[in-house]
Structure 1
Amino acid sequence: MTGRPAFRRRAAFAVLVVVVLTGTTWYAAAELQRARAEQNAPTRVEVTEGVLDGPHVLFRGTAPGELYGRVAAVALDDLSGPREVTPVVCDRVSSQGATTLCLRTRRGVVTTYEAEVLDAAWRTTATWSLPGLPSRAQLSPDGLVATTAFVTGHSYSQAGFSTETMVRDADGAKVSGNLEDFTLLADGERVAPVDRNVWGVTFVDDRYFYATVRSQSLGHTWLVRGDLTERTLVTVLDGVECPSLSPDGTRLAFKHDVAADGAATQHWTPAVLDLATLEVTVLDAEQRTVDDQMTWLDDTTLLYGLPRADEPGTTDVWSLAVDGTSKPAVAIPQAWSPSVVG
């Protein structure tokens, strides 16, 4: 008789497991159906044609719906106006008009990452795989491409993150290699920390560039001037991340950590470096932390992306005057990774 209650308990437990699994399966299916419905829903943005024919800003659209992730453009003189949408989906984008660099994530049973170069008709001219999550993309007027991917970690604020930054020709024919393999000169002395990471490339010309080098073991986050011919990285200043060269070539915009010593998290504020004097101007009109490589709209205004706190996945591109005369303002709503094409 003692076996019958135990059997009933096992049977009841089995029924409970079936109910839970059925409920979980139903919930997962419902969530998948809801997500697909959201992805296929019309995107509520004003769409037009002809924007790409004139001066414009190219970017990744982040408005929810069927156009989410698609590369789009707004007119340079009407940043909040209607956008022209391309057929290309990117995580990060950089463009010189006739040539566009696109970094993307391909999700599937096995998630992969890739870089793609496209011509003005959005046809692929070169493609190669990336070792991890796309982070930074830069295309120079001289036809050079810089890509940064997270090999481990998904944030520059994480301890122990690792990146791979490569420079190559846009046609993929010549690869300058991983910038971590370049000779690092700090105050004229060669150093080779095993934990160095390089990211945030901004090109000067077809030989020189600026970038960020960080070594946690040495306690430095340097601005470096790179030389593709000599394969060197020479330190310029400490405490600089993600530099961006101004159109007139005289200044670098970057994000500057203003968090107190010992703070648990970093707080990045936009700043501008005068290359002639090495004087830094912190743009503290922006009180939020800006974890992005900024883009110069012109010689007086910066663009950068910020996420919406109440809308996961949606970001806006903000503008900020470099002379500190105005507060930050939304320049392109529901956008990310701006690239100015004059």
Structure 2
Amino acid sequence: MGSRNGKILFALVGVCLLVGAGYVVAAALGPDETTTEARPQVDGAVLAHAHLMVRAVDPANPRLNGRVYEIDGGKARRRSGDLACERVYFAGGRGICMGVAPSGVDYRAQIFDSQLRPVHEFALTGFPSRARVSSDGRYGATTVFVSGDSYLQAPSAFSTRTVIVDLRSGERVGQLEQFDVTKDGKPFDAVDFNFWGVTFVPGDSSRYYATLGTGGSHYLVEGDIAARSMRVLRDGVECPSLSPDGEQIVFKSRVAGSERWRLRVLDVETLADHAVAETRSVDDQVEWLDNETLVYSYEDDLYTVPADGSGEPQLLVRDASSPVRLDRGI
């Protein structure tokens, strides 16, 4: 599949405009203007057991890199003086920080350790979109928006690149667009393949789920890094995120005929799903606080909602995004 340059033309006009704005912002930044000193504001509704890593957001300029903070016991504290990201994720003693490079015009990813010290770095080919790390810290996944694929129908259109990285060596393992895919037991291939929203299976770092976009469909795929393969499970799933016990997946479900999404949760065994109580359009790869509670970005703040469809959204942290559930004692 090396000839597959496939990236799907996003009908997500709003997303493209947002990403395009990100490129403009980055292009206008100078070397000393890439990072905000904004600080997350913990709201009184914070759950007592919430223990998170977040990226601070400056509401006046949310595309600036944000410092990394730890939220614990209802308080926010800065874990590192230098680490600043557009997207961050951490698990198993390793993390990925994606953001604007010091040049102000390029993008980079830093791999960091449990003390938030960068240990590897590599260039990104486009605007940071998604980041995930396997539970044992062995693998990481980065997704970026890129432009210029020859089949795209408009100069302003964007496609994706999703790369798996060995977080111990810092070496690239592979690009999902180059992995084999099957659907209904048969080889499946198209020039417009795009992948995003990788989520790793707890306890098995080689296995993952992701979204495959092609021909207007958004398929949930199950993949294996060692086998460099994926299989299609069902349609209508974007930005999947596995629960800590690996039994449920929260995802974005596109509202038909619109550029809006609803959050839904599916059972991994049956693939049946249900809506959660959040009715706003959330464009994020949702995180789990625990096996019963979701946490996600909406505009410049973080909210929680029960995964079973009950309750209602609660404000968790203001001026923060990219939430990461943390284990105690990191």
Tell me the distance in 2 between the aligned counterparts of 1:163 and 1:288. 25
Tell me the distance in 2 between the aligned counterparts of 1:45 and 1:90. 14
Tell me the distance in 2 between the aligned counterparts of 1:233 and 1:136. 19
Tell me the distance in 1 between the aligned counterparts of 2:193 and 2:100. 25
SS at match of 1:134: strand
Note the C-alpha offset of 1:84.
Answer: 3.0
Note the C-alpha offset of 1:98.
Answer: 2.8
SS at match of 2:177: helix
Note the C-alpha offset of 1:160.
Answer: 4.7
Tell me the distance in 1 between the aligned counterparts of 2:171 and 2:224. 16
Q: Choose which of 265, 271, 286 in structure 1 pairs with 2:264.
A: 271
Tell me the distance in 1 between the aligned counterparts of 2:230 and 2:39. 46
Counterparts of residues 230-241 of structure 1 (less than 5 Å): 230-241=227-238
Tell me the distance in 2 between the aligned counterparts of 1:98 and 1:55. 19
Q: Choose which of 142, 149, 172 in structure 2 pairs with 1:175.
A: 172
Q: Does 1:246 align with 2:243?
A: yes
Q: Does 1:151 align with 2:146?
A: yes
SS at match of 2:80: strand
Tell me the distance in 2 between the aligned counterparts of 1:160 and 1:221. 18
Deviations 1:272-319 (A, max 9, x none): 110111111122x21211110000110001111011xxxxxxx10110
Tell me the distance in 2 between the aligned counterparts of 1:298 and 1:164. 30
Note the C-alpha offset of 1:323.
Answer: 1.5
Distance 1:330 1:194, change over 3 A: same
Counterparts of residues 13-162 of structure 1 (less than 5 Å): 43=38, 56-63=51-58, 69-75=66-72, 77-78=73-74, 81-87=75-81, 88-96=83-91, 98-106=93-101, 108=103, 111-142=105-136, 143-152=138-147, 160-162=157-159
Match of 2:217 in 1: 220
Q: Which amino acid aligns with 1:291?
A: D
Q: Which amino acid aligns with 1:86?
A: S
Tell me the distance in 2 between the aligned counterparts of 1:45 and 1:206. 31
Q: Which amino acid aligns with 2:284?
A: D
Tell me the distance in 2 between the aligned counterparts of 1:282 and 1:46. 29
Q: Which has the higher helix share?
A: 1
Tell me the distance in 2 between the aligned counterparts of 1:172 and 1:329. 40
Q: Which amino acid aligns with 2:214?
A: S
Note the C-alpha offset of 1:55.
Answer: 7.9
2:110–2:121 contact (8 Å) kept in structure 1: yes
Tell me the distance in 1 between the aligned counterparts of 2:146 and 2:241. 23
Q: Which amino acid aligns with 2:116?
A: W
SS at match of 1:180: helix
2:210–2:220 contact (8 Å) kept in structure 1: yes
Aligned residues: 278
1:304–1:338 contact (8 Å) kept in structure 2: yes
Q: Of the two structures, which has the highest relative contact order with CA contacts closer than 8 Å and spacing of 6 or more?
A: 2
SS at match of 1:100: strand
The alignment's TM-score, normalised by the length of structure 1, stands at: 0.74
Tell me the distance in 2 between the aligned counterparts of 1:106 and 1:245. 30
> Alignment identity in percent?
38
The unaligned stretches of length 5 or more in structure 2 are: 1-27, 43-48, 149-153
Tell me the distance in 1 between the aligned counterparts of 2:146 and 2:52. 29
CA RMSD of aligned residues (A): 2.8
